[in-house]
Amino acid sequence: MPFPVQQAPSPVPATLSTAVPNDEPTTAGFDKATGFHRHLHTPRVLFGRGFTLKQVVFGLLLVFCLTPWASPPIALALGLVLAQTLGNPFGTQTKKATAKLLQFSVIGLGFGMNAHAAVQAGKLGILFTVGSIFGTLLLGFLVGRWLGLGRHVVHLISCGTAICGGSAIAAIGPVLRAKDEEMSVALGTVFVLNAIALFTFPPIGHALAMTQNQFGLWCAIAIHDTSSVVGAAATYGTQALEVATTVKLARALWIIPISIGTAMIFKQKGVKVKIPYFIFGFIAAMLVNTFVPAARPLGPVMVSLAKIGLTVTLFFIGAGLSAKVVRSVGPKPYVLGILLWVVISVGSLYVILHTV
């Protein structure tokens, strides 16, 4: 699942790492800032290899995310703090690893799910899915015109909100032949709101005494990215996790028809529709867990590894959301994203509480 990251600053050349001569006029603030900058980027030898302080801190936080004490919200928070302070020293690497790690984690979760229960969850969420997707796309179009935003940005943010966040934007963008800045704006908008949802939804669910089924369904409909849907549902309960994952992945399959419709509406010819094949891996894992008894002992191990992978994924995502990324989006896309998110969250919550 692609997302915008801040590239790591280049190391300070050795010629700049020497002390400032005493006879040169400097201010105390400049000295402190320059000294801190040098301290961050000057390599130190550790175990026979050179590491900067930023890299060491990143490594320690990553190791913590592999422990039982780290949860998805904590991992995301640690990544956000790192991005806003020291910065991500491995921006390129974490960007490449995030999508694959999320996909493998989702497949691993399939080994802990029952196909019969998943079918029931899918039936429960199909009407909500269809109504919310087309309602969000229509509302996004109308609000986007009112705000005067470009058609591509509006459609990308609307698809990210309606289907599955960054994955939908990454799939729809090439179909639109969207520019890099349009993709970045959409991804930045959706992810900021996605991160907020991960922290706010579980407390709201507990405050409203939502059942596991209700909360799982609400997460799948109202939270953008699969990573945060699974993260929020996992903190609420096992049954909520099962419902949320199943409904969200079924929702993600709508990338295919929406991509085809996008190519037709925007009159784009010769484009390639991106299919989320990892969803079929999740289905295969779920079928193995349900119908192959000999493989069931493997289930708890795979689920545990999947949850660790998800935690690391959210740490990587948080580490990519720098203050520069947040500021570069501008106010209007956030207004569009917030309005769509509030409408779909409040509307689906009301319907779920009164019908499920």
Q: What local confidence, expressed as pLDDT, does residue 24 receive?
A: 41
Q: Which secondary structure element, helix H or strand E, spans residue 45, and what is its range?
A: strand 44-46
pLDDT in tens, 252-300: 889 888 988 988 888 777 777 777 888 899 999 999 999 998 988 999 9
Question: Around Cβ 200, how many Cβ atoms within 10 Å?
Answer: 13
**Would you say residue 167 has pLDDT above 90?**
no
Q: What percent of the chain has pLDDT over 90?
A: 44
DSSP 3-state assignment of 34? Answer: helix
What pLDDT score was predicted for residue 26? 43
Q: What pLDDT shows up at residue 48?
A: 60
Chain segment 292-335, per-residue pLDDT in tens: 989 889 999 999 999 999 899 999 988 988 887 777 778 899 99
Higher pLDDT, 234 or 35: 234
Instruction: Please state, in angstroms and rounded to a whole number, the distance separating the CA atoms of residues 320 and 301.
Output: 29
Do residues 5 and 88 make contact, with C-beta atoms less than 8 angstroms apart? yes
Query: CA–CA separation, 50 vs 66, rounded Å?
Result: 24
- Angle value at C-alpha 165, between 113 and 183, nearest 5 degrees: 150
Length of the chain: 356
pLDDT at 71: 87
pLDDT recorded at residue 264: 86
Mean pLDDT of 59-72: 93
Q: What average pLDDT is seen over the chain?
A: 83
Q: What is the mean pLDDT of residues 52-59?
A: 89
Which pLDDT score, from 0 to 100, does residue 134 have? 92
pLDDT greater than 80 at residue 88: yes
pLDDT at 1: 44
CA distances, 216 to each of 101, 146, 192, 210, 213 (Å): 22, 33, 21, 9, 5
Read off the pLDDT of residues 110-121 as tens digits, 9 standing for 90 and up.
Answer: 998 888 887 877
Is residue 28 predicted with pLDDT exceeding 70?
Answer: no
Q: Is the pLDDT of residue 5 over 50?
A: no
pLDDT of residue 330: 83
Which parts of 266-297 fold into alpha helices (H)? 278-291
Q: What is the pLDDT of residue 113?
A: 86
| pLDDT > 80? residue 36 | no
Predicted confidence at residue 179, as pLDDT, reads 85
pLDDT tier, 58 (very low <50, low <70, confident <90, very high otherwise): very high
Q: What is the mean pLDDT of residues 56-69?
A: 93
Neighbours of 5 (CB within 10 A): 24
Q: What is the pLDDT of residue 201?
A: 96
Predicted TM-score of the model (pTM): 0.77
Please tell me the predicted confidence (pLDDT) of residue 188.
85
User: What's the pLDDT at 328?
Assistant: 76
Contact by Cβ (8 Å): 41, 16: no
83 vs 29 pLDDT, higher one? 83
Q: What is the mean pLDDT of residues 174-197?
A: 86
- The residue ranking higher by pLDDT, 227 or 126, is 227
Residue given tokens 């999740």 in the structure block? 282
* pLDDT at 350 (0 to 100): 94
pLDDT at 158: 94
